[in-house]
Amino acid sequence: MHALHSKKQQDSRKLILSIVLSASMAIAFAQQCFPAGQIVTDTITSEALKGNRLGDPDTRDITIYLPPSYASSDKVYPVIYLLHGFGGNERSYVDEVGELLAVFLIDGLINTGSLKEVIIVMPNAKNKYGGSFYLNSELTGNYEDYIADELVDYIDIKYRTIRDRDGRAIAGASMGGYGSITLAMKHPETFSAIASLSPPLGFEMIAEAMIPEVIKENPDGMSGPWPDAEQYTSFFYALSAALSPNLNNPPFFVDLPFEYPSDEIIEPVRQCWLEADPLTMLSVYASSLMEMNGIYIDVGDEDLPGFKSAADAFHQELISMGIEHIYDVYHGDHYANPVGRAISALTFLSDLLPVAPSVVRYGDKLPITWGAIRQLLILR
């Protein structure tokens, strides 16, 4: 839920911006001494999104990081698909620190051996309600098909990738964390590893904790969806558009899972939500997660209402099923340390991906100290 990050991340951004001025001079000098990666913008037109009822565009930008040796070699590379949160877009991760510093950070990880040379693909899954949750919906369009089928095929055809599941991993934060878990569950033939940061992993627990907050946000009646609504209201409208759309229920064409203002749960809508609830999905897709080469999940001990309880329950279910995974409860809220946590996710996945052949390391030539800058960015 990237839109929910903005206020909470201001302090983090101030520190990052203070680093940029000093780092930019070092970057300019460093780029003269060793090859640099680059961030490019590409465009895809999606059949899966065409004609969606919200009128959202079917042509979407993609932000792509290409590693340092990409331009000068004929190697093929593993790919990490990095999914944005609610209210975000394909630029969210890059804009968190700025393009110049984003390239510098990833290059630094590669040149110090913390990250393999990888292609990082950041798609756009935003819609008029703030976010698609990477699901197929008769209202918003078929975002699962767009990401898992069309986007992967497009990247494999246009870029030099390792074109099998072991060469692909998927990650994301919040809504993107939900997408990374559920897309990997449904498409184990496509993705081999998962990193899911602060994801909503149990809709019943989250609804129980969050519905009272939604009602508080709407003392005079339900206001409608993002961008005019408050944060929890926006979240529920977007989830309803993905999970319980109703084209016969204008003006927003969704069925919310509760009665207003009583907060009584509506059972038929609850059943629709349970079908896409990661906790419920485990009974169907446990074998898919067992096929993963690695699973990483984190959540904050002061996360959004219901998020930690849901993540705890998901973690316990994975244990009971014998599914190996890493579960990290960090200190802080939903928005804490976004850069450091993204680095943890990327390096975790990198360790599970194959190496692009004959990668040349330039770590000995770095004229700056990467470790010092990384420590400044890890704000725990």
CA-CA distance, 253 to 230, in Å (whole number)? 19
pLDDT over 50 at 178, yes or no: yes
Say if residues 276 and 242 touch (Cβ distance below 8 Å): yes
* Residue labelled with tokens 């804490």: 336
Q: Spell out the alpha helix ranges (H) of 164-306.
A: 175-186, 203-217, 231-243, 267-275, 278-290
**Cα 69-74-77 angle, rounded to 5 deg:** 65
Cβ within 8 Å of residue 267, ≥6 positions away: none
Confidence of residue 33 (pLDDT cuts 50, 70, 90): low
Of 183, 197, 204, 174, the residue nearest 310 (C-alpha): 204
Q: Which two tokens stand for residue 145?
A: 């098909």
Reported pTM: 0.88
Q: Within 13 A of 276's CA, how many CA atoms are on the CB side?
A: 21
Confidence of residue 357 (pLDDT cuts 50, 70, 90): low
Residue 1: per-residue pLDDT: 35
Which domains are seen in the chain, by residue range?
Answer: 2-201+284-377 (3.40.50.1820)
**Cα 241-247-250 angle, rounded to 5 deg:** 90
Cβ within 8 Å of residue 376, ≥6 positions away: 15, 19
The proportion of the chain whose per-residue pLDDT surpasses 70, expressed as a percent, equals 85
Section 181-209 average pLDDT: 98
Say if residues 221 and 202 touch (Cβ distance below 8 Å): no
* β-pair type (59-66, 38-45): antiparallel
pLDDT over 60 at 374, yes or no: no
pLDDT digits (tens, 9 = 90+) for 75-127: 999 999 999 999 999 999 999 999 999 999 999 999 999 999 999 999 999 99
pLDDT digits (tens, 9 = 90+) for 224-243: 998 889 999 999 999 999 99
Q: What distances in angstroms separate CA 62 from CA 33, 177, 304, one per listed residue?
A: 29, 18, 28
Long-range contacts of 23-27 (CB under 8 A, 24+ apart): 23/101, 23/104, 23/368, 23/373, 24/100, 24/101, 26/367, 26/368, 27/100, 27/101, 27/104
Cβ within 8 Å of residue 220, ≥6 positions away: none
Q: What is the number of H-type helices and E-type strands within the chain? A: 13, 10
Cβ within 8 Å of residue 379, ≥6 positions away: 12, 15, 336, 337, 339, 340
Confidence of residue 358 (pLDDT cuts 50, 70, 90): low
pLDDT digits (tens, 9 = 90+) for 149-164: 999 999 999 999 999 9
Of 169, 168, 175, the residue nearest 197 (C-alpha): 175
DSSP per-residue letters across 174-200: THHHHHHHHHHHH-TTT--EEEEES--
Q: Within 13 A of 226's CA, how many CA atoms are on the CB side?
A: 25
Alpha carbon 281 to chain centroid distance? 19
* Residue labelled with tokens 């209201």: 233
Say if residues 205 and 198 touch (Cβ distance below 8 Å): no
Say if residues 269 and 165 touch (Cβ distance below 8 Å): no
Say if residues 235 and 254 touch (Cβ distance below 8 Å): no
